Amino acid sequence: MTDTTLAEHKAHEHKIGKLQEFLKQIIYGGNDGIVTTFAIVAGFAGAGAEGAAQIGGIAVLLFGIANLLADATAMGLGEFLSARSEQDVYKATRDKELHEIKHNPDMERAEMIEILEERGVSDADAKQLTDVLERNPEFMADFMMQYEIGMADPSGDDPAMNGLATFIAFIIFGSVPLIPYFILEPVSLTFHLSVLATFLALVTLGLLRWKVTNETMIRCVGETVLVGGICAIVAYGVGLAFAA
């Protein structure tokens, strides 16, 4: 196999699209955006259909949009800081592991052999593999990070892009429950349409998850709708509680 053929094979077999790359941020931001915005609508509806009518559709939209933008910004920045922190923790832990490999090789060798044997490698092969890894401390550190400490390398992540993906998903999906209030007066029917829009947004989010994973459509859609639905019901219940 030539180098060109190998490169083409790797590019074809392991190509990851943008949906797969940012699936976590899309699901996380989208679900929170839907639920957060619907909570505003449901809060007014739970307090009574006349509650939204008294303050007017413009006020509902102002509350919803202000909440949407503020929370989207907080979520995006939170994701950015989380990704940066994860990279910092990984680097610090890996540096410590490299230090141990250099200054406490006997203990690290024993740990490596034990890890390999626990995964079905024979004692003789485990010792041979450890001999090879000891001559390649950088790779040995990567191996120990994955199989001893259980930390995946996050260096390929872009914290800024992760934060932006979360922000955009939050805005797009979080806008859906407000759409009926842009079109209609804030009456009972408008709230029912908002509930329907929220349900469809959750279904769409589940379908996105299904598209980029190997899970079944029923599981992806069902779990997404169930989790988002529970949060929406809680929001509506809070409105009812304050109305009581």
Residue 212 within any structural domain of the chain: yes
> Among residues 175, 104, 98, 192, which one has the least CA distance to residue 137?
98
215 phi and psi angles, rounded to 5 deg = -75, 165
Residue 4 within any structural domain of the chain: no
Residue 137 within any structural domain of the chain: yes
Cα gap 89→238, rounded to integer Å: 39
> Among residues 173, 168, 175, which one has the least CA distance to residue 65?
175
Contact criterion met (CB below 8 Å) for 174 and 75? no
How many domains does the structure of the chain reveal? 1
Helix, strand or coil for residue 241?
helix
pLDDT of residue 76: 92
pLDDT tens by residue, 105-157: 999 999 999 999 998 989 999 999 999 999 999 999 999 999 888 888 888 88
Residue 117 within any structural domain of the chain: yes
pLDDT of residue 187: 76
**Residues with pLDDT less than 70, the chain:** 1-19, 45-57, 239-240, 242-244
Cα gap 230→236, rounded to integer Å: 10
Range of the domain at 55: 18-243
pTM: predicted TM-score of the whole model, two decimal places = 0.77
Angle at 26 between CA 15 and CA 146, to 5 degrees: 55
pLDDT of residue 60: 75
Q: How many residues does the chain have?
A: 244
Residue 9 within any structural domain of the chain: no
- Number of neighbours of residue 27 by Cβ within 10 angstroms: 21
pLDDT of residue 32: 86
Residue 31 within any structural domain of the chain: yes
Spatial neighbors of 166 by CB under 8 A, at least 6 apart, are 25, 26, 28, 29, 75, 76, 78, 79
- Retrieve residue 23's tokens: 């699936």
168-197 b/e (C-beta count within 10 Å ≥ 16 → b): bbbbbbbbbbbebbeeeebeeebbebbbeb
pLDDT of residue 46: 62
Helices and strands (H, E) in the chain, number of each type:
12, 0
Residue 12 within any structural domain of the chain: no
Handedness of CA 212, 215, 216, 221 (dihedral sign): negative
Residue 167 within any structural domain of the chain: yes
Helix, strand or coil for residue 237?
helix
